[in-house]
Structure 1
Amino acid sequence: MAKKPVTSRRGRFLKLAGMTASVAGQYAGQRARKVFRKDDDEAARSQNYTRMADQIADTLGELKGAVMKVGQIASQTQDFLPKEFSDALQRLQKEAPPMPFSVIQRQIESELGQPISQLFEYLQEKPYAAASIGQVHRARLHDGTDVIVKVQYPGVDESCDSDLKQLRMALKLGGLLKMPKETVDQLFGEIRERLKEELDYLNEANNLKLFRKFHDKDEWVLIPGVIDSHSTKRVLTLELVEGDHINEVTQDRYDQDTINLIGHRIFRTMADQLFKFQCIHGDPHAGNFAYRPDGTIIMYDFGCVKKLKPEIVEAYRNVLVSALDEDYQAVDRYLIDLGARVKSQPAVDAAYYAMWRDILIVPFDQPEPYDFAESDLHTHVASKTSTVFKYLDYFKPPVESIFIDRMIAGHYWILKRLGVQAAFRSDLEQYLAPAGESADTVP
C-alpha cells in the first residue's frame, strides 16, 4: 500500500526529526564499537554507512522539497562523500517518486482557480517527470498547443527553512559535516537563497524569458516558452519541447562527431552565461538537458539562476588567466578579490597552487582532443582534498562563486557521461581574452 504523502509542516518536521535521531544513534553506535575494537572493521563500517545512507535517501525522496534538493546537490560531489552515501543519493538524481494525481489536481485548481476540464483539453495523470520540489504533467490547451505543466508540491515552500535546519542537524550528528561552522553557515545560506527563488515559479518564468533572449541567436539552443495564462507562483505551464535524455544519446543515433559538437556547444553556453551574460543556469544536472541528433541542446528548469556581480566575474577570469600563466602570486591576489582567500593571512605557497593547477589544467593543456569518457580528473581532485586542511585558515567559502563551481562540476559530469572528445584550450582562451575580442567563432 502506497504511503500517504507528507505535506504538512508538522509532519515533515517529525519525519526529519525521526531520521535525525536514527542516523545519530547509528553513528554513535559505530563510534562506540570502534573504541572497543583494536582494528577498524571496514566491512562493518560500510554496512553501517549503507544503512544510514539508504535511510537518508529514502526520507529525502519521500519528503521532496528543500531537503531532496540538497541531497541532489550532495550527490553531484561524487567522490567527495563516502561511496555509500554518494551511491544512495544518486537515486535522488535519477527519479523522484511522484505525488498522487489527486494532490496535483487540487494544487492546479487552487492556483489557477478553475477546474482541470476548463483549463486543459486533457492533462495526463501519469507524471511526465518528477523532481525535488514539483512534478511535470503533459497536457494540451484548448487551442491545441501541447504543453507541460510543472506543479509545486503542497507545503514545500512553507517548510523550506525548517527542512534545511533538520537536514543540517542530521548530517552533523551523522558525522558527515566535517567543515568549519562558518563554511557550513555560508553554504546553507546560499542554498537557502537559491531555493527561495526556485520555489517562486513566476521568478522561474522571468528567468526562462531572460535566457531565451540570451540565446536567441543560438539556433542550436532551445528553451521552452512560458504560457503566462496558465502560470502562477506554484504552477508553471510551458511549451512542450522534447529531446533525448542523456541516457538516450547512444552510438546508434549519435556519432562521435555529433557528440563532440554537442560538447563544444555545452562549453559555449556555459562560458557565455559566465563571461558574457554574467548570469548562470545554476542546476546543471543531466535531467535538466536534452539533445537531438542534429546537435541541438534543450535546456530546462530555470528555477535556480545565479546573477553574478561583474567584479566577481572579472576576479574569476583573472584567477584563470593567472593559473594558465603559472603566475601564482597573481592567483593569490585574485582569489582575495574573489572572496576565496582570507586577506589577513600570509601568501599561500606557490607549490600548493601549482599542484591544483596541474590537476585541473589537464583537459585544457593538450592540442589533441581530451576524452572525457576516460577522465579521472575527479579522482585526482579527491585524492588531494586532505591537503586543504593545511591551509584551512587561509581560505573561506566564496559565497558569490559557489554556484559557478557547481555549474562547472555539473557540466564536467555531463561531458563525461556523453563521452565528449574535445580540445577546449582555444575555446577557453577566447573567453579569457581582453574585453572587445569575440568568442563568436565557437561552433
Structure 2
Amino acid sequence: MSKSRNPPVGRLARLGRVAALSARGSAGLAMRALRKVAGADAAETDRSTISHVVQALGEMKGAAMKLGQALSMDVDALPAELRNIAARLQSSAPPLDAEEIVAIVEDELGAPPEKLFAEFDTEPLAAASLGQVHAARLHDGREVVLKVQYPGIAEAVDADFANIALMVRAAGLTSKLLDGTAYVEELRREIHLETDYVLEAERARAFRELFSAEADLLVPEPIPERSTSRVLCLTRVRGQTLTQFIESNPDAAARWRVSEQLIRAVHGPFYSAARIHADPNPGNFLVTADGKLALLDYGCVKSFREDFVATIRDCLIAELNGQPYDVLAGVRATGFVVDTDEATARGLLADIMAIASRPLRANVYDYALDTTVSDMRALGLRRTKDFLRVRPPAEAVMLGRAVSGCAQNLRALGARGEVRAVYLKMLQRRRPEG
C-alpha cells in the first residue's frame, strides 16, 4: 500500500477531485472506443482507468470512497478482473504515515503507543474509508486492534454530501416527484455518525448482547480505557474476510454454512431488535478457523421504528406461509408516499415482491444463480416513473443498503441451501420492544 497524505477536506478541493475523476473516466471511455476501432486491447485501458479511479478514491476516503466500495461489490457492474481492482477500496486504501498515526494516538489517549500497549504495529492491517486499523497487544496479553480515524474525515464526509446536494440542485432534481433531499440527508447523517467511535463502541456492545445466544456469531469487545471518539480499541478476531474465504475455494457445505450465518448476522437483529448492520463491505465479515462468522465495524448501525419492522415482518410471514397480505396497506403504514392510482401502485409492489421474495418461495435456493439485485435494478429502469410515485421513507435507505449488500455477498458466496427455513426461524423470535 502506498502512503497517503491526509484526505482533502474542503468542498471545493473534494469537488475538484471528483471533476478530475470524471474527466479521466470520460477520456478512458474515448480511448477504449479508439482502441476497439483499431483492434487493440481495450481491456488495458479499462484496467488503467479503474486503477486510477481506485487510487484517487482511496486518497479521498470519506463518502467518495464508500461509493467506490459499493461499485466493487456489484457483480454485474464490472468484469471480475476490474472488480478485483476496485475491491482494494474495501480495506486497502493508501494509509497515513506511521508518524502521523502515532501522533494521533498520543493526542487522543494521552501517551505514545509504546507506553499504552505491550506491542503496537505501525503498519496497518487495513485502511478504509474513515480510518485505518492497527494490530496491538495489551499489557495483559490480549490481542487487540486500534481503529484510528483520519484527520478531518468528518468534515470531508459533510463536504461530499454538500457537493451531492449542490449537484442535485444544479441538475434540477428538486421537484416534488424527483426530490431526493431526504434520502441524501439520511445517508449524510448516518455516515457522519460513523465518525463517532464512542457511539460505535456502544453499538458493538449492543450486538454482542444480541448475539450472546448464537455461539457461531462473534462481535469484538470494545476496550473503553483505550478508546476515545477518534480512536477505538477492540479485541482482535482472526480469520479470512469473505473475499478471502471465497478465493480459498471452499466446498458447498462450507459456503452454505457461512451464507446461513451471514443471513442471521445481517437480517436477524432487524427482526429481533429493530436494528441492522448497514455496512455490507465484505471486509466487515471474518470467517474464523473454527467455522464462526465475526461481524466487524459498527459505525453504520441503523435503528428503526417498531411499526416499520412489524409491517415488513408481517409481510414476510404471509409470504412464507402462502397467506394473502395487503402490501399496499402495509407500505402506507410504514410511511411510504403513494402518489399514484391504486392499480399502478399494487402492480409495482407485486413486481417488487415477485423479485425480492424469490429466496423465500423455494425450500432450497441457489445463490449462485441469484439475480435479485440486477432484476430489481432493471425493474427500476423499466418502471422509473412508478418508482418515483411510490416512495419509501428516508429510513428505508439504510435497510436497502444492508439488504442489497447482503444479497451481493450471498451471490458471491454462491451457496445453495434452505433459505426459507432460516427466515422462518428468525421471524419466530420476539418482536422488538418499544
- Same fold by TM-score greater than 0.5: yes
Q: SS at 2:154's partner residue? A: coil
Q: Which residue pairs with 1:373 in the alignment? A: 368
Q: Which residue pairs with 2:9 in the alignment? A: 9
Question: Comparing 70-79 with 267-276, which one deviates more in the overlay?
Answer: 70-79
Aligned partner letter, 2:16: G
Q: Which residue pairs with 1:312 in the alignment? A: 308
Aligned partner letter, 2:282: A
After superposition, residues 230-241 of structure 1 pair within 5 angstroms as 230-241=226-237
1:70-94 per-position Cα deviation (integer Å, ceiling 9, x unaligned) = 4324554554799999787544225
Aligned partner letter, 1:162: A
Q: SS at 2:153's partner residue? A: coil
Distance across 2 between alignment mates of 1:431 and 1:348: 32
8 A Cα contact 1:16 1:167, kept in partner:
no
Q: Which residue pairs with 1:402 in the alignment? A: 397
8 A Cα contact 1:226 1:238, kept in partner:
yes
Does residue 143 in structure 1 map to residue 140 in structure 2? yes
Q: SS at 1:99's partner residue? A: coil
Unpaired stretches in structure 1, ≥5 consecutive residues = 34-39, 437-443
8 A Cα contact 1:258 1:293, kept in partner:
no
Q: Which residue pairs with 2:113 in the alignment? A: 116
Does residue 153 in structure 1 map to residue 150 in structure 2? yes
Does residue 60 in structure 1 map to residue 57 in structure 2? yes
Q: SS at 2:111's partner residue? A: coil
1:189-231 per-position Cα deviation (integer Å, ceiling 9, x unaligned) = 1111111211000101111111111111111111111111110
Does residue 227 in structure 1 map to residue 223 in structure 2? yes
1:36-72 per-position Cα deviation (integer Å, ceiling 9, x unaligned) = xxxx99969x999998866654332102123222432
Tell me how far 1:14 sits from its aligned partner.
4.4
Equivalences, count: 423
Distance across 2 between alignment mates of 1:185 and 1:80: 26
Q: SS at 2:383's partner residue? A: helix
Q: Which residue pairs with 1:359 in the alignment? A: 355
Q: SS at 2:129's partner residue? A: coil
Aligned partner letter, 1:225: E
Change (3 A) 1:150 1:188: same
Distance across 1 between alignment mates of 2:403 and 2:227: 31
The two structures have a TM-score, normalised by structure 2, of 0.83
Aligned partner letter, 1:227: I
Change (3 A) 1:29 1:102: closer
Aligned partner letter, 1:386: L
Identity %: 29
Tell me how far 1:279 sits from its aligned partner.
1.3
Distance across 1 between alignment mates of 2:305 and 2:298: 19
1:123-151 per-position Cα deviation (integer Å, ceiling 9, x unaligned) = 11211111110001111122222211110
Q: SS at 1:284's partner residue? A: coil
Aligned partner letter, 1:238: L
After superposition, residues 4-43 of structure 1 pair within 5 angstroms as 5-7=5-7, 9-10=9-10, 13-22=11-20
Change (3 A) 1:302 1:73: same
Tell me how far 1:329 sits from its aligned partner.
7.5
The two structures have a TM-score, normalised by structure 1, of 0.81
8 A Cα contact 1:332 1:347, kept in partner:
no
Which of 243, 247, 261 matches 2:257?
261
Name the Cα RMSD after superposition.
3.9
Q: Which residue pairs with 2:194 in the alignment? A: 198
Change (3 A) 1:99 1:171: farther
Change (3 A) 1:137 1:432: closer
Q: Which residue pairs with 1:423 in the alignment? A: 418
Distance across 2 between alignment mates of 1:112 and 1:333: 52
Aligned partner letter, 2:357: I
Q: Which residue pairs with 1:37 in the alignment? A: none
8 A Cα contact 1:328 1:350, kept in partner:
no
Which of 85, 96, 103 matches 1:99?
96
8 A Cα contact 2:137 2:144, kept in partner:
yes
Unpaired stretches in structure 2, ≥5 consecutive residues = none
Distance across 1 between alignment mates of 2:79 and 2:177: 20
After superposition, residues 149-298 of structure 1 pair within 5 angstroms as 149-166=146-163, 183-249=179-245, 254-298=250-294
8 A Cα contact 2:259 2:415, kept in partner:
yes
1:270-298 per-position Cα deviation (integer Å, ceiling 9, x unaligned) = 33201111111111221001113543111
8 A Cα contact 2:58 2:65, kept in partner:
yes
Distance across 1 between alignment mates of 2:269 and 2:200: 16
